[in-house]
Structures are given as C-alpha cells and as structure tokens.
C-alpha cells in the first residue's frame, strides 16, 4: 500500500482521490477530469493548498469555522478528553462530565427556556431527531394526528432522508424518492427573486400568510410544527423581509404549532447575536444546532428544547438516539470553542465592529454591473448576479452559469466563495479582521470583473 502524505505531488493525490473517494454534492466524472483542490493546512481565515496557494476562506469551511482555523486549545481539549475518556454513550441512564458541562453551558447561552439538549452528530441528525420529537410530543399529549411539518421550498435542513425531506431542494427530492409523507412546503420569503411588484414588507407578510393558509388547508389537527432557518443559508443567503418572522410567530402562536428554528448556520454568532432567533425576534420551541457549536473542529449537533416540550418528552421513553449522541471528545471540543467565543468577546465584536465594517464594504459590490443586490446579515451575505438590474432579472439561458463562472474566478483569485444558482454567498470566520475584509472585497471585485469580461 502506498503511504499517502501531504508531500506527494498534487496530481498523484488527485488521481488517488478520484479513484477511491466519492465526494458529496460533486459530479464525480467532472471532478476526476479536473482534479480536486487539495487543502493541506489552515490558520485563522487562510487555507493553504497542495500547490502552496494561500486562499482566503470566505465560507468558513461549510459555514462552520466560526473561531477560525488553527486554535491549539481545541486540539488540546480533544487530546485531554481522548486520554481520560475517549468514548462512552449516553443511552440507558448513563452520562459523563463533558455531556453534562456542555448541556449546562448551552442552557446558559440560549434565549428564554431552551434549557435542554438532545445531542446528535450533525445538523442532519438533529433535524431527524426533531421530526420524531415533535410528533412524539403531540402523540404524548393525546393528539397523534398532529404529524405534518411545514417547511419552505429552497430550505436546506440536511442530507439524511428525514432532514432532506424537511428541506425544500427539488434536486435533492428528485433523488431517492423524497420527501417522506407528512412534510409540506410553502413558498420562501425571497423578495429579490420572487417578490414581483410588491414591496419587501408586503411580500414578507404575504409569504408568511401562506403558513396560515397551509394550516387551514391541511387542518389544525394535522399540523405539528413549522421549521425555518432564520436566514436561509444554502438556499443563497436569503434574508427575509422584516415583516416575515413576526407574522410567522403570530401564526404559530395562534394555532399552537411548534416552531423549530434551524440555527445550524445562524447559531453561535453568525448573524451578530448568539442565535439568529434573537436577531429576528423568533421564540422557537426547538432549535437545531451544529456547525458553529464546535466551529467544525469536531462533528456534533443537537436539538435545543424548551421546558414544556422537554417535560412532555421526558414523560415517556423517547426511543431515539445515536451512538455518538453526546460524544465526550466532541462535547469537550465544543465546550472549549464556546469558552473562546465567549471569553474573547467574538460575538460582541462581530455585532459592534466587524459586521458593520463588512456590511459597508459588501454593499459597495452592488455598484458592479453584474450585481443586482448585495445584502448581509451579520457575517452571512450574498450578491445576486443579474443581466438587467433595474428589473431584478435572472440570467435566463442557463441558470447558474454566471455564478459558476464567478466561482471559478474566485478560485483563480485565491478566494473561496460559493455560488447558489446566480447568487454568490459568503460566511467568513467570525474572527476576520478589517484588513482581511478589505482583501475579501478586493478579490470578490476582481472575480466579478473577470466574470463580467467573459460574459460580455
Ligand atoms: N440545517 C442547516 C440550516 C444547514 O445549513 C445544514 C448544513 O449545511 C444542515 C442543517 C445539515 O447539517 P449537517 O451537514 O451537519 O448534517
């Protein structure tokens, strides 16, 4: 067997990768032809690849490396925990100190009475938990017909069968016979793309009221919950109009529908508050967390549950759990990550300093001839590429082309941004400095110029 190391030539590593490694969300034959970019090291907001390029990671990996790369404290916390207790489970009335300590810290950080956590290994697993949790809650309360979960088109809630069903990605539903029964999708609050002649405020109300229509159509006695990301991330960083969430909250309260906020991206400082729900005035019964919980240093997720729902669930044996629910090493790493976020005042600095600075710079991109809108909430932003800015038109012939070209130009300019159709998105590490923000904007501008030259 070949010993595979960082020192091997890139082409050899790429060939081995293409031969044996199936990548998520990647067309394998295209990748085999081009070769994957191989990331070898990272520090702060900067990645280094196998060719020695230094790349500004404006996506924080997959929206997750909130404290930045290369924090030794997390490696040390993992090593300490591995030596002391590398694994034990939390099934059958057992527990351990890292799971207890992290649950206690989460109860301190979360708003209102979200005082309980059910651990998972990822955001997808946590959303699968939520499906069973809310249905079990209603069954325990003597209302077993309340099973339907209402979500939105173009939402992303994960890749497992359950969580991808909650999501509203048509390309995902087309593969593997999704969604599962009793998941219903309403339209998203995407004013730029779908708002027509309405003002953003009118449109936000109209889209929220689709929830009420759906509840009345399906029957109040069938609806268990509504799930939504405070800001849709993978859908293209869709920041809802201000009227949207208060109306959703009013409708959930009126019909006593459980509200699940999927905070997998928005949580842990991304929108400038600890949780996106606080930025948008949402009071959820359940919150999904993952990603920024450990800044991606260890796989961990969970469902944060309010007192009332936890009391009902705790009244039965909830026949659910994962081998790695509350994995001690992942819990220890997450706890250290939360200590750093809190003690170094990273979330406060985002709110008072770096997010306003980034917003000012980001919005200048709207002056570019290719850019129809540039919006940002805290540290997650997007630009919409448009051939006709005045009419908010999309690139008609081949949706996604402009974004794809732009992404290639970003790569060439040593910048990681992501494209979703013709939207280009960012979600940098929360520790990004002013100087690094200037570099990000300069490289994004250069990529846009190159894309514009190719398209004109
Ligand atoms: N929910 C949201 C909002 C996400 O953005 C993601 C992942 O991007 C998930 C859930 C799924 O998380 P994971 O990839 O950890 O399963």
What does 113-131 look like in DSSP terms, one character per residue?
T--EEEEESSHHHHHHHHH
Ligand 1 lined by 403 (C-beta under 6 Å): no
DSSP assignment string, 226-260: EEE-SSBSTTT-BPPPTTHHHHHHHHHHHHT-EEE
State the ipTM, two decimals: 0.99
Nearest Cα residue to 300 out of 277, 268, 258, 276:
268
Alpha-carbon distance of 449 to 172, in angstroms, equals: 32
- Higher-pLDDT residue of 7 and 250 is 250
Q: Residue 281: count other Cβ atoms within 10 Å of its Cβ.
A: 11
Strand order in the sheet with 223-228: 116-120, 301-305, 286-289, 258-262, 223-228, 148-152, 183-186
Our answer on whether the CB atom of 128 is closer than 6 Å to any ligand 1 atom is: no
Tokens standing for residue 267: 């949580």
Mean pLDDT of 142-156: 98
Strand partners, 186: 152
Report residue 36: phi and psi, to 5°: -75, 150
Atom index in ligand 1 nearest the CA of residue 158 equals 11
pTM: 0.97
Candidate from 27-31, 106-110, 292-296, 431-435 with smallest mean pLDDT: 27-31
Q: How many CA atoms lie within 13 A of 24 on its CB side?
A: 5
Only one residue has tokens 């997650």, namely 380
- Residue 396 pLDDT more than 70? no
CA distance readout (Å), 219 to 136, 146, 179, 222, 319: 19, 9, 20, 5, 28
pLDDT of residue 124 exceeding 90: yes
Tell me the average pLDDT across 366-375: 96
Task: Decide if pLDDT at 400 tops 80.
Answer: no
| Contacts (Cβ under 8 Å, ≥6 apart) of 209 | 247, 251
Cα distances (angstroms) measured from residue 97 to each of 84, 94, 318, 326, 401 = 11, 11, 22, 10, 50
Residue 181 φ/ψ, nearest 5 degrees: -65, 160
Instruction: Name the closest-CA residue to atom 10, ligand 1.
Output: 157
264 Cβ below 6 A of ligand 1: yes
User: 396: phi > 0 → left, psi -120 to 50 → alpha, else beta; which?
Assistant: alpha
192-201 burial: b if 16+ Cβ within 10 Å, else e: bbbbeeeebe
Residue 30 is predicted with a pLDDT of: 86
Q: Is 225 in the pocket of ligand 1 (CB under 6 A)?
A: no
Ligand 1 pocket member 322 (CB < 6 A): no
The C-alpha atoms of residue 344 and residue 151 are separated, in whole angstroms, by: 36
Distance from the first to the final alpha carbon of the chain = 50
Backbone torsion region of residue 135, taken as left when φ is above 0, otherwise alpha when ψ lies between -120 and 50, otherwise beta = alpha
Ligand 1 and 270: CB distance under 6 A:
no
Residue with tokens 């979200």: 114
pLDDT at residue number 182 = 98
CA of 21 to the centre of ligand 1 (A): 22
DSSP string, 83-119: HH-S-----TT---HHHHHHHHHHHHHSSTT--EEEE
Report whether pLDDT(191) > 70: yes
Q: What is the mean pLDDT of residues 236-247?
A: 98
Neighbours of 306 (CB within 10 A): 20
H/E element, 287? strand 286-289
pLDDT at residue 59 above 90? yes
| Dihedral angle sign, alpha carbons of residues 291, 262, 122, 341 | positive
Beta bridge partners of 416: 57
Q: Evaluate if residue 1 carries a pLDDT over 80.
A: no
* Ligand 1 contact via 249 beta carbon (within 6 Å): no
Work out the average pLDDT over 276-290: 98
Q: What would the mean pLDDT of 390-413 be, rounded to a whole number?
A: 81
């Amino acid at each position: 067997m070949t010993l595979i190391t960082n020192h091997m030539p890139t082409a050899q590593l790429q060939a081995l990768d293409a031969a044996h490694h199936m990548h998520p969300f990647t067309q394998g034959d295209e990748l085999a032809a081009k070769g994957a970019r191989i990331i070898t090291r990272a520090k702060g907001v900067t990645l280094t690849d196998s060719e020695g390029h230094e790349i500004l990671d404006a996506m924080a990996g997959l929206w997750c490396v909130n404290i930045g790369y290369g924090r030794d404290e997390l490696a040390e916390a993992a090593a300490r925990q591995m030596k002391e207790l590398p694994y034990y489970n939390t099934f059958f009335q057992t527990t351990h100190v890292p799971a207890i300590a992290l649950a206690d810290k989460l109860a301190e950080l979360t708003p209102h009475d979200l005082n309980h956590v059910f651990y998972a290994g990822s955001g997808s697993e946590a959303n699968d938990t939520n499906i069973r949790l809310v249905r079990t809650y209603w069954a325990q309360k003597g209302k077993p017909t309340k099973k339907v979960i209402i979500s939105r088109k173009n939402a992303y809630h994960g890749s497992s069968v359950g969580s991808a069903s909650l999501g509203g990605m048509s390309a995902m539903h087309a593969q593997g016979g999704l969604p599962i029964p009793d998941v219903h999708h309403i339209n998203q609050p995407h004013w730029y793309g779908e708002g027509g002649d309405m003002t953003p405020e009118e449109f936000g109300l109209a889209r929220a009221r689709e929830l009420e229509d759906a509840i009345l159509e399906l029957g109040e006695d069938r609806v268990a919950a509504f799930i939504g990301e405070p800001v849709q991330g993978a859908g293209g960083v869709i920041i809802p109009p201000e009227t949207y969430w208060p109306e959703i909250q009013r409708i959930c309260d009126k019909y006593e529908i459980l509200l699940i906020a999927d905070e997998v991206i928005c949580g842990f400082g991304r929108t400038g508050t600890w949780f996106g729900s606080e930025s948008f005035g949402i009071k959820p019964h359940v919150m999904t967390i993952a990603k920024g919980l450990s800044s991606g240093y260890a796989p961990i997720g969970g469902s944060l549950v309010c007192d009332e729902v936890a009391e009902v669930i705790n009244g039965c044996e909830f026949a659910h759990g994962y081998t790695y629910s509350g994995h001690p090493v992942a819990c220890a790493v997450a706890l250290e990550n939360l200590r750093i976020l809190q003690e170094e005042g990273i979330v406060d600095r985002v709110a008072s300093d770096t997010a306003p600075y980034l917003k000012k710079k980001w919005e200048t991109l709207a002056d570019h001839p290719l850019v129809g809108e540039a919006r940002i909430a805290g540290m997650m932003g997007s630009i919409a590429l448009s051939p006709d800015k005045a009419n908010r038109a999309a690139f008609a012939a081949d949706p996604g082309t402009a974004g794809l070209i732009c992404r290639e130009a970003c790569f060439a300019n040593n910048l990681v941004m992501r494209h979703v159709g013709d939207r280009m998105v960012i979600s940098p590490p929360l520790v990004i400095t002013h100087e690094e923000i200037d570099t990000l904007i300069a490289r994004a501008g250069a990529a846009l110029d190159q894309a514009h030259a190719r398209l004109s």
